[in-house]
Every structure is written in structure tokens, then in C-alpha cells.
Amino acid sequence: MSGKQEPSGIRISQDRKAKEFARLHNIPGKILILPNAWDVPSARLFENAGFPAVATSSAGMFASLGYPDGEAIGRKKFLDSVKRIGNVLSLPLSVDSVAGFGKNTKDLKVTVKGLIEAGAVGMNIEDFEHETKQLYPLEFQVKKIATIMEVTKNLGVKVFVNARTDSLRYFEGDDDDKFEEAVRRCKEFRDAGAGCVYPMGLVRKEDIERFVREMNGFPINVMLRTGVPPLNDLESIGIKRVSFGPGASYAAMGLLKKISNEILNERNTDSLLNGGISYDELISLTEPRPE
């Protein structure tokens, strides 16, 4: 293994997590349910709940720090936030890295190295620009995935790539054109080294079944959202991974909104005072778990 200059045990432990994360996507007949955290306490809460791995949500994390979704936060603040989460988890951590924080592969290499140093063993990579809502050329996106594979091999930790396409939303054409482009891109991403593909906007059961057939059993990520089939149906269809996306952030903010309205308009404090965690549990969510 390369990366021998690292402190003893760190790369070995991280590589073990990386291999476990990859294995979770390939258990026959079983779906990986992956929660998306936005900060240290939410990540630890998911770990304590019993999930086998934790991911981050770009929208949830960035909004919690006062930034919109996308890359406006900048690489340094992004990686600092990832490292805070990585420092307290004993589970595999996958990170939503939007489009990689760079317009070229040189910048992407810096991001990938930073993610590994922050403790990540998985990453999402998107194929569109948030500001313009334009898809990147397929050739460029394939080159980015190949670059990630190269960097992770050199560093001795094979980061698991979940390659996302937003063709179903932003490709020009009708619904059939969008679907065919999403399939085309996902097959290219698979061949470039991605371990899972993520066609954002895949919701209807018949579309999900068709995508599974097109990818011939290759791991596909579906985001939990209104209209998506139940988990048991997704598992029977052959979906290998479902993620929360920003859904947990929506739910948490929705609860705070409900509490605020009840207190201000009804003088009702029940939702605030009942069902929450204690002070000690809150503080314990900041303490690293032993490996």
C-alpha cells in the first residue's frame, strides 16, 4: 500500500472503512440506507441510531454555516467542516463534494486529498454547475472520476465514488431524451471507476425499474423524497442505496418551525419540552467514539 509516510494505523484503519463502505453497496438482496448529516451532532446521532455508515448533505451542511448549496462556501471551509465530522465518527463517512470545488482536475486533486485527510472514504461528485444549472461535458466529468481514482490509489485509500447526474433535470430535450442521457452518463461514470451512480430526480417506480435494467444490477442511489416507492419496494426492485439527501435537515427545520408557531400562536410548549434529548446527550454527541 502507498502512503507509508502517514502515522502508523491511520491509513490502514481508513482503508478498512473504505472497503466496508464498498461492501455495503453489494450485499445481495439488501439495500444500504444512508443518512445525510449536516453537522457533528447529527452525524453522531445517526451513528448512535445504528446506521452502518453516514454521509453529509451539501445543502444541509452549507445552510447550517450560512451558505447556499453549491461551492460558494469555498474549499477550505468545506473541508474544515468535513474534518469536524470525520473526527467524531467511527463509521465510514461519505461526503457530498458537489462538483469537486474546482474547474480543472488539478483543483479536484487538492479536494480529494483534503477529503481523505479529513477522514472520508466516500464522496458524491455532481455533473452540473449550481450557478448556471448547466451540465458539464460528459468527457470532463469522466476525466474527473478517473482523476479521483488516480489520487485515491496513490494515497492508499480507495474512496468510493457515488457519481451523480442531473440529466433528468437539466439536459435539453423531452423526458425520454433526459432519461437516455442519464443512462448514458451513468454507464460512462461506472466504466470510469465509480462504485455507484445517482440519477437525481429518479422518482417513479417504473422509471426506477427501467434504470435498474439499463444498469444491469450496478449499484444505483435513490434519494428519499415524496413519491419515491417504499424502502421494501426499492429493495425488491434492486436499488442498492437510498440516501436522505437534505431530507433530515428539512425535517429538523420543520420541527423547529412547528415549535415556534405553537409557542407564539398557541402558548403551547409541549413540542419543545417533550420528546427531545437531554443536555448530557447533546454534549456527548461531540465526543469521538473509540475506533
pLDDT at res. 102: 85
Average pLDDT over the chain, rounded to whole? 94
Residue 12 clears pLDDT 70, i.e. is over it: no
Asked if the model's pLDDT at residue 155 lies above 90, the reply is no
Q: What is the pLDDT of residues 174-210, one digit of tens each?
A: 999 999 999 999 999 999 999 999 999 999 999 999 9
The predicted structure's pLDDT at residue 7:
43
Mean pLDDT of 19-31: 96
How many residues make up the chain in this entry?
A: 291
Closest CA to 188 of 210, 165, 171: 165
- CATH homologous superfamily, domain 10-247: Phosphoenolpyruvate-binding domains (3.20.20.60)
- Say if strands 128-129 and 134-135 run parallel, antiparallel, or are unpaired: antiparallel
Segment 119-146 shows an average pLDDT of 96
Write the DSSP assignment of 114-141 as a string of letters.
HHHHTT-SEEEE-SEETTTTEEPPHHHH
Q: Is the pLDDT of residue 9 over 60?
A: no
Q: What is the pLDDT of residues 231-248, one digit of tens each?
A: 999 999 999 999 999 999
So what's the pLDDT on residue 156? 85
**Cβ(272)–Cβ(260) under 8 Å?**
no
